[in-house]
């Protein structure tokens, strides 16, 4: 059977990226669910309980720009396969860390996972390269739908870890994730994307990014991603510790809330691509700000499992609207001649802020409590809302269509 054309929405490359997205999101969701709990067991002080998650996000932040540049030189396929191999190594390192009750070794494993996730964050940009430019938002939405499977599998690996490895507590979750990455390697090796390598060097040579001359809408796209990811990470990282350690909710209930949250991050992709096509990326981002404000109200209203669940559900929806909207706006507004640079800087900023947020979450929660975690997110949400109002009707820049 002939392979679908490059500009068909459901083309072969996008389907391979979709399957790989499930696997990488599973590992991330698994780590967020259990890393804080492992931290409370192994960390030398309670304030370092969220350090494993912080190092995962920091690894993503530090590797974001190098990942984009590497794929510019060697191509998407080679970069993605290398990322799957690093992720497999991270599972082995984490497994060994739990086996030896070594907090530092486990943290090294989460940091390696973060590096691999920096490459997988490029899946969404790769998805836009498989379709016509006007379908970029739809391609991102289709890709993020693959994360629904990851949202189910990741926390389930934690909840069922004892079935996978009966004598190893949470080691079974890492063993299961390692098996998934063994599947990701052959999936990604079948990609036929041409972005990067020789096909992109002529563009890259004249595509140096000058941040001083970036269009305001590029800055708005970056701000949406940075604040959406940062605030989501800040609240999400604090939630398992607040629920299970401070409020005494069961591990099953805690995993269920994280599962609801991760599902809520990606299920809206069923509608977000259509919303962008109908109303535009900036309208979707504005809706995301509104949902974030509803998240804060819900989180401040109580500490039952239902309150945590509703707050984390809304948090996921708000993140989706800002992330999909910001990614699409970046593709629309950035000059395609320096897209790898723009994507690398964007992801570095997003996950740099996310790393700071995940580390701060443990300190704020430990010193000031859950309500302080929530209230501190209000000012940046309001600032982003003001920026959207200011730039809502600003025209998109015009670039050379031949470069797209």
Tokens of 355: 């790393």
Cβ atoms of 399 and 336 closer than 8 Å: yes
Residue 304 domain-assigned? Answer: yes
Residue 358 domain-assigned? Answer: yes
Residue 211 DSSP label: G
Provide the whole-model pTM. Answer: 0.71
Low-confidence ranges of the chain (pLDDT < 70): 1-10, 133, 168, 194-213, 398-404
Residue 286 domain-assigned? Answer: yes
pLDDT tens digits for range 390-400: 988 888 776 65
pLDDT tens digits for range 56-106: 878 888 888 888 888 878 888 899 999 999 999 999 999 999 888 899 999
Residue 203 domain-assigned? Answer: no
268 in helix, strand or coil? coil
Residue 184 domain-assigned? Answer: yes
Cβ atoms of 187 and 21 closer than 8 Å: no
Cβ atoms of 37 and 89 closer than 8 Å: no
Residue 2 domain-assigned? Answer: no
Residue 196 domain-assigned? Answer: no
Containing structural domain, residue 389: 12-190+209-394
Please state the domain count of the chain.
1
* CATH number reported for the structural domain that contains residue 359 in this entry: 1.20.1250.20
- Work out the number of other CB atoms within 10 angstroms of the CB of residue 402: 7
What was the pLDDT predicted at 87?
A: 94
Residue 202 domain-assigned? Answer: no
What was the pLDDT predicted at 399?
A: 62
What was the pLDDT predicted at 242?
A: 84
d(CA 43, CA 367): 17
Output the CA torsion sign for 111, 23, 138, 288: negative
Q: Which of 42, 23, 69 is nearest to 169 (CA)?
A: 42
């Amino acid at each position: 059977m002939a392979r679908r054309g490059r500009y068909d929405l459901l083309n072969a490359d996008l389907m391979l990226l979709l399957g790989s997205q499930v696997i990488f999101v599973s590992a991330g969701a698994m780590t967020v669910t259990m890393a804080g709990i492992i931290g409370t067991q192994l960390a030398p002080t309670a304030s370092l309980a969220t350090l494993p998650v912080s190092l995962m996000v920091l690894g993503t932040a530090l590797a974001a720009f190098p990942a984009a540049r590497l794929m510019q030189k060697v191509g998407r396929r080679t970069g993605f396969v290398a990322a799957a191999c690093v992720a497999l190594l991270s599972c082995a390192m984490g497994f060994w860390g739990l086996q030896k009750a070594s907090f530092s070794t486990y943290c090294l494993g989460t940091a390696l996972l973060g590096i691999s996730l920096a490459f997988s964050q490029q899946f969404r940009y790769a998805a836009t390269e498989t379709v016509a430019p006007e379908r970029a938002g739809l391609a991102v939405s289709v890709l993020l739908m693959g994360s629904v499977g990851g949202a189910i599998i990741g926390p389930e690996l934690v909840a069922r870890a004892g079935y996978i490895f009966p004598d190893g507590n949470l080691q079974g979750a890492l063993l299961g994730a390692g098996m998934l990455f063994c599947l990701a390697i052959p999936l990604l090796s079948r990609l036929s994307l041409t972005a990067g390598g020789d096909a992109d060097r002529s563009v890259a040579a004249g595509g140096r990014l000058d941040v001083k001359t970036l269009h305001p809408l590029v800055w708005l796209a970056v701000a949406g991603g940075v604040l959406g990811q940062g605030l989501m990470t800040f609240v999400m990282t604090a939630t398992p510790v607040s629920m299970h350690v401070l409020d005494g909710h069961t591990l099953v209930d805690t995993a269920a809330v994280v599962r609801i949250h991760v599902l809520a991050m990606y299920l809206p992709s069923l509608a977000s691509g259509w919303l962008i096509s109908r109303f535009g990326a900036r309208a979707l981002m504005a809706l995301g700000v509104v949902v974030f404000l509803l998240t804060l109200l819900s989180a401040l209203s109580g500490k039952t499992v239902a309150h945590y669940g509703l707050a984390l559900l809304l948090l996921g929806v708000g993140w989706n609207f800002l992330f999909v909207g910001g990614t699409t706006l970046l593709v629309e507004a950035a000059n395609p001649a320096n897209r790898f640079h723009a994507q690398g800087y964007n992801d570095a900023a997003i996950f740099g802020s996310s790393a700071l947020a995940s580390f701060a979450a443990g300190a704020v929660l430990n010193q000031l409590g859950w309500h302080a975690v929530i209230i501190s997110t209000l000012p940046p949400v309001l600032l982003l809302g003001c920026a959207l109002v200011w730039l809502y009707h600003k025209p998109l820049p015009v670039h050379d269509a031949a470069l797209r």
